[in-house]
């Protein structure tokens, strides 16, 4: 019973989360530059953009990267727990919570990096990137997977009564 719809949901959710690691930006900045066109900066997971002058990364940026890795790993682990549906539901629920925390850390890290992008008097336009929306899609896919596992559990328990 490895090839079930919820396994596909979890695999796509892991891919959506992993897309933040250098493929899709999770936050975009537009910095006005005098006498030139505005400069576009994009924030990806696992890059040096979140570093300060001493070379250490912001704690929120490190936390975002760690939570994204954990969320993707929990999705992949949840695929292989198809023999223990109760444990699979718990792992998928934990992956959902970690994904939500990942979104919150991404927003907090991006807002804290705003001051590093330009000075306090410079108006910096910022907006979420595609990567952040992909994490939200991953949360939806995790919810669908958990619902599918609950449905399988109901079917299995109904057959046990017969």
Report how far residue 25's alpha carbon sits from residue 35's, in angstroms, rounded to the nearest whole number.
27
Identify which of 101-105, 120-124, 149-153 has the greatest average pLDDT.
Answer: 101-105
In a domain? residue 102: yes
In the predicted model, what is the mean pLDDT of residues 123-151?
A: 89
* Alpha carbon 159 to chain centroid, angstroms: 37
Q: Residue 41: inside a domain, yes or no?
A: no
Instruction: Decide if 10 contacts 76 (C-beta within 8 A).
Output: yes
The radius of gyration of the chain from alpha carbons, rounded to an integer in Å, stands at: 19
Q: What tokens were used for 9? A: 């949901």
How confident is the model at residue 55, as a pLDDT? Answer: 47
Strand partners, 155: none
pTM: 0.82
As a whole number, the mean pLDDT across the chain is 82
Which H or E run includes 88? helix 85-117
Whether 157 maps to a domain, the answer reads no
Domain containing 78 equals: 5-34+56-152
pLDDT of residue 119: 64
Counting the structural domains of the chain, the total is: 1
Does the residue 62 lie in any domain?
A: yes
- Copy the structure tokens of residue 161: 């009564």
Query: What pLDDT, on the 0 to 100 scale, is given for residue 78?
Result: 92
Is 40 a domain residue?
no
């Amino acid at each position: 019973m490895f090839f079930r719809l919820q396994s596909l949901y979890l695999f796509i959710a892991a891919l959506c989360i992993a897309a933040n690691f250098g493929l899709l930006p999770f936050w975009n900045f537009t910095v006005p530059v005098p006498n030139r066109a505005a400069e576009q900066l994009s924030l990806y997971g696992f890059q040096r953009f979140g570093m300060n002058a001493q070379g250490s990364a912001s704690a929120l940026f490190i936390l975002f990267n760690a939570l994204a890795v954990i969320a993707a790993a929990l999705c992949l682990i949840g695929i292989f727990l198809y023999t223990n549906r109760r444990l699979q539901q718990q792992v998928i629920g934990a992956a959902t919570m970690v994904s939500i925390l990942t979104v919150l850390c991404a927003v907090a890290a991006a807002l804290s990096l705003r001051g590093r992008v330009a000075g306090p008097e410079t108006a910096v336009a910022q907006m979420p990137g595609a990567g952040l929306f992909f994490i939200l899609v991953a949360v939806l896919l995790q919810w669908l997977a958990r619902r599918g596992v609950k449905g399988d559990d109901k079917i299995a328990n109904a057959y046990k009564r017969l």
